[in-house]
């Protein structure tokens, strides 16, 4: 039978019931929230990784918290010369003999850079839930790479800013503070100085036929995102498109066979 959880004079709300509400709001993906140091990891010595304060919300709404100013440490076993090892570190949530749900650090060896540890859920009947925070690569006696495995959630302020940026796209002729990057090619791309939006499209294409390509390259210089080829058939005047870009990404216009006005703008997110 359903119950009214937060009705007047009802019983106190249990933490697990509160977790269900958090999961409903945050979604069903374990993530690092934009609080405190966001579990930023640094190498203290050859075997010790330190993470800063922050809050993790699990896929079922459990909250793992390092209070402001606190740190956690993960100790990686000493390596051997000539051997490469991988470890996943994070938080093990478990149920004790009295059915209380508790949290402790874990460090687990894995066989490769692609192997993962299944998280599991208490709702799914598990008594242990593994929240994988970092993947650590150890070459010989040295830790050579620390990879964050959890995504970062977006706060309400950033969501509102994103929505405002989307609203500005409605007026294709409103250049505002945008930068026109139509002259940049793959050989000389525009490097985004901050997070922002690239909007691009055709003006006055009622008699034009042809195509053009807007390319976006990741900040690592390797991954070209699929904005792709846009074909104009004479019917999509004032047609604008938008894609979100991160700081350091490169944007260019290539393969243009059109004589009409192509507009490509970069709009920074304030």
Kindly give the confidence (pLDDT) of every residue in the chain, 270 residues in length, as a single tens digit, with 9 standing for 90 and above.
887 887 787 788 788 888 888 888 888 889 999 899 999 999 999 899 999 999 999 999 999 999 999 999 999 999 999 999 999 999 999 988 888 889 999 999 999 888 889 898 888 888 899 999 999 999 999 999 999 999 988 777 777 766 665 555 444 444 445 677 777 887 888 888 888 877 776 655 445 555 667 777 776 655 555 444 444 444 444 456 677 778 888 888 765 555 555 667 777 765
Residues 70 and 65: their CA atoms lie apart, in Å, by 10
Answer yes or no: CATH 2.60.220 is held by domain 156-268: no
8 Å CB contact between 56 and 91: yes
- Which residues sit opposite 210 in a β-bridge? 232
**What residues form DSSP beta bridges with 185?**
188
Whole-angstrom Cα distance, residue 146 to residue 84?
14
What residue ranges do the domains of the chain occupy? 15-148, 156-268
Q: CB-side exposure of 168: number of CA atoms within 13 Å? A: 21
Largest CA distance in the chain: 75
CB atoms within 10 A of CB 191: 13
Neighbour tally for 262: CB within 10 Å: 20
Secondary structure E strands in 111-187: 128-139, 142-148, 179-180
pTM of the model: 0.61
- Between CA 44 and CA 52, with CA 46 as vertex, the angle to 5 degrees is 25
Residue 241 Ramachandran class (φ > 0 left, ψ -120 to 50 alpha, else beta): beta
Distances (CA, A) of 45 to 53, 77, 88, 137, 141: 19, 12, 18, 14, 11
Helix residue ranges per DSSP H, the chain: 15-26, 156-168
Right CATH for 15-148 from 1.10.3470, 1.10.10, 2.60.520, 3.40.50:
2.60.520
């Amino acid at each position: 039978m359903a119950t009214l959880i937060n009705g007047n004079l009802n019983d106190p709300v249990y933490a697990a019931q509160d977790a269900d509400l958090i999961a409903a709001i945050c979604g069903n993906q374990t993530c690092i929230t934009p609080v405190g140091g966001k579990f930023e990891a640094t190498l203290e010595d050859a075997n010790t990784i330190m993470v800063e304060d922050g809050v993790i919300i699990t896929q079922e709404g459990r909250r793992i918290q390092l209070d402001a100013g606190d740190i956690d440490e993960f100790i990686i076993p000493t390596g051997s010369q000539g051997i490469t090892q991988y470890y996943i570190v994070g938080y093990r949530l478990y149920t004790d003999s009295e059915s209380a749900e508790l949290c402790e650090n874990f460090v687990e060896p894995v066989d490769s850079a692609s192997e993962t540890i299944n998280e599991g859920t208490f709702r799914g009947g598990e008594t242990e839930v593994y929240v994988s925070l970092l993947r650590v690569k150890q070459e010989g006696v040295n830790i050579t790479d620390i990879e964050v495995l959890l995504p970062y959630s977006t706060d309400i302020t950033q969501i509102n800013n994103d929505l405002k940026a989307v609203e500005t796209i409605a007026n294709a002729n409103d250049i505002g503070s945008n930068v026109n990057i139509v002259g940049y090619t793959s050989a000389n791309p525009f490097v985004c100085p901050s997070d922002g939006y690239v909007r691009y499209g055709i003006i006055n294409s009622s008699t034009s036929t042809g195509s053009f390509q807007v390319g976006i390259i990741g900040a690592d210089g390797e991954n070209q995102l699929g904005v792709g080829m846009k074909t104009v058939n004479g019917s999509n005047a004032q047609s604008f498109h938008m894609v979100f870009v991160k700081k350091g990404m490169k944007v260019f216009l290539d393969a243009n066979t059109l004589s009409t006005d192509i507009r490509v703008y970069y709009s920074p997110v304030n």
